[in-house]
Structures are given as C-alpha cells and as structure tokens.
Amino acid sequence: MIKIEDYASVVGQATIDELFALARHLEGKDIQNINSTAVGGGVAEILTRMIPLLKELGVHARWDVIKGNEKFFVTTKKFHNGLHGVPVEISDEELEDFLEVNRENAKEMNFGDIVFVHDPQPIALIDVRETLGRSWIWRCHIDFSRPVERVWEFLERYIKKYDTAVFSAPAFARRLPIKQVLISPSIDPLSDKNKELSSDVVDEVFNRFGIDRSRPVITQISRFDYLKDPVGVIKAYRLAKKRVDMQLVLAGGGATDDPEGAIVMEQVQHEAEKDKDIFALFLPPASDIEINALQRGSTVVLQKSLREGFGLTVSEALWKAKPVIAGAVGGIPLQISHKYSGILTHSIEGTAHAIKQLINEPEYARKLGVNGKEHIKNNFLITRHIKDYLLLFISLFHKEDLVYL
C-alpha cells in the first residue's frame, strides 16, 4: 500500500508538507468526482490514483461512475469524435436520450459540496443544480481545439451552467462566460504502471508475449481508437522497416464507455496477421505491470495520436527515460519539446523517419529520454496535480483568503 509520505523520496518532503497544509483548508468539504468509466483510459487512470491520495491528505474525496446503456455510449463516443473534429451525425432523438440518461443518474446521486464532472458523458447532470446550489466544475480531458459545431453548441449550453471549466492545455481554451483554469494531468511515479521494475520482470513480460528483446522493439500503448492512429503506426513501421530491423507492439484494451474499440482492434489484428513481427496485444484491465514492462523494455515508444487531450502514455514512457515519438497534437507538445525531450511528428513519413533515426542513433535517443524524464519530474507528477486541484477547490470556498495561502 503506497502512502502519500512515500512520494517524499521522489519530490521532497516540503512538497508533501505543503499538500497537507493545503488539504486542511478543505476540512468538512465533500468533493465528488463523476465520470463514465471505472477502467480504461486516462480519466479512470488518474482518478484511481488520485482519490486514495486525497483521502490520505484528509480530504473527503469520492468518485461516482454514471450508468449508461449502449445507445448512450454510442452517442457520447460521437460527442468525443465530434469534439475532436471528426464529422459525426447525431440525431435529436440521440440527444434527448443522452439527456434522459443524465436525468436518471442525477436522481440516484448524492451530490457533494464540489461536484467535479469529468468529460461530456455526465455533463448534463448540471441541470439539477438550481435545486441544489453547490460548486460545479467541468473538467475537460479532451482536445477540442477544432470541434464539430453542432456538438460544441449542444455541449456549450451545459458548460455555461458550471462555475468553472478546467482544461488540460492552453490550446483548448475557448470563449466561455465562466472561469477557465488550466491544469495538466499527471502520472503516478509509484504506481504499478510507473514504478521501477527489475530487468527479470521486464524479460518475463516480453517472453510471455513472444517478443524478442535482442532486436529493436517499437511500442504504442493505447486504447484501440481511430484517433490513436494504430493503422498509421503500422504504416510508419512498414516504411521504417525497409531500412532497419524491428518489431512493433500495439498493446491496449478497451474502455467500458468506448464502443468502437473492438472494430479498431479487429483492423489492427488483421494487419498483424500478415507480419510475425507485429504484436497486437489485447490487454485486460489491471495490466499495469505488463504496460510498465513493455514501455521499459522498448527501444522507442510511439504515441502517434491524431488528436489527444493530454496523452498520459507519453509521460509514462518519458518517466521511464524512453525516447518517444508522438503526434504534435493536443497536450502532447506540453510534454515533448521537439528534438530535446522527444520527437514530435505530423505524418506517417515523419514518424518512419524518426523511428529509423532513433534506432540508428542510440546515444541521441538516450539523451531525449533523459531530458524527457527530467521534464516529467518537474511538471507532470501526481503531487503537482494534487496541489493544483487543492488550490482550485479552496478557491471555490475561500475566495477572499486565497491570497494568504
């Protein structure tokens, strides 16, 4: 069981003391997080780590997951794609259904003093606020720098009803009549996904999947989602492989709120069947040690997203001092400074070129990884994230005191 004090070994005791001092200002406040899946994807990943640590700090934090049927999640996936700029058709009936599921969930919920709503799926819970009068925050983890207008207009009606909106990157801020706050996500350096592993554990995982560690391995860990571009990754691998030997690992699972995963996975598997050096691995939930080992044991880690709210997998790999090649989209440029702490790409060809370069120039690749790790340590660890959230929560209760904190 990891304790908050254990993080002192990574970030220093003063940081931990500061968190305790801030947490005292929230005594007696009930902080409720709401999202739409308990496993799979970055939001669940963060909440799983964040809630126990907040509790240890003495904050009354909790986490509820809304219930939805298949139709609801098809609609919310359309929102997700539409906010990412993918053309989608959403009928009035689907929108009405979406609202009805939110209303049903609202009836069963015991709302906190702060209602911290993550992403669009539960966004319309805010419709009950008139009768409850609490502080409502909408936390957006999505890259919506170029949203489809109809989706944006629909969601904007609800966003406006919140007190505050939190975004992951400056590029996502939009004209809104409410307060906007920028808070980047984070990774937990002591979790099973990110803690140090012995080389025996890494070897065991590679052996189990039949991957040869004596040859270069390039890896992308992601939900199977079009916007993670696994097929683009395969194309880049094929181009690069004309010049350099390597194996490709595409590993991931689904999320309960993502109905498209199975179709994308099938496409990837179809491609993998043609090439024994492509490993399409379906990972069940709780594969943290496997993901950790795959990232640690890879020569290069990829995150060739076409859109990305933040891209926790980038921080995860950089924390392991791995050279990372990633799409220059959404929150990824916050994590990678091009050619200093990783490589940012805009195309399949660019990705292929970077793969060849990093495999051929291990010293350069090593430097990128070392710089990347330092950057993550300074900016994207969970302790910084907790501090930002505590300050945000406090600001909702003690507007006049904040200056003295």
Residues in touch with ligand UDP (CB under 6 A): 41-42, 45, 193, 221-223, 252-253, 283, 287, 291, 310-313, 316
- CB-nearer residue toward ligand UDP: 118 or 241: 118
Instruction: Yes or no: say if 302 and 324 are a contact pair by the CB < 8 Å rule.
Output: yes
Shortest distance (Å) from residue 46 CB to ligand UDP: 8
Shortest distance (Å) from residue 356 CB to ligand UDP: 25
For residue 237, give Cα distances in angstroms to 213, 230, 249, 304, 349: 17, 10, 10, 12, 10
Shortest distance (Å) from residue 315 CB to ligand UDP: 9
Angle between helices 42-56 and 312-319 (to 10 degrees): 70
- CB-nearer residue toward ligand UDP: 23 or 123: 123
Shortest distance (Å) from residue 152 CB to ligand UDP: 19
Shortest distance (Å) from residue 192 CB to ligand UDP: 10
Burial of 290: CB neighbours in 10 Å, binned 0-12, 13-18, 19+: buried
- CB-nearer residue toward ligand UDP: 191 or 337: 191
- CB-nearer residue toward ligand UDP: 41 or 333: 41
- CB-nearer residue toward ligand UDP: 228 or 241: 228
If you compute the radius of gyration of the chain from its CA atoms, what whole number of angstroms results?
21
- CB-nearer residue toward ligand UDP: 238 or 384: 384
Phi, psi of 182, deg, nearest 5: -105, 115
**Element of type H or E holding 130:** helix 129-132
Give the span between the Cα atoms of 127 and 99, in whole angstroms. 9
**Element of type H or E holding 99:** helix 92-108
Phi, psi of 365, deg, nearest 5: -60, -40
Shortest distance (Å) from residue 134 CB to ligand UDP: 27
Shortest distance (Å) from residue 18 CB to ligand UDP: 26
CB atoms within 10 A of CB 69: 10
The residue nearest ligand UDP at its CB is 42
- CB-nearer residue toward ligand UDP: 197 or 221: 221
Which residues touch 220 (CB under 8 Å, ≥6 apart)?
A: 228, 230, 233, 249, 250, 251, 301, 302, 303, 304, 313
Give the span between the Cα atoms of 327 and 305, in whole angstroms. 5
Shortest distance (Å) from residue 36 CB to ligand UDP: 12
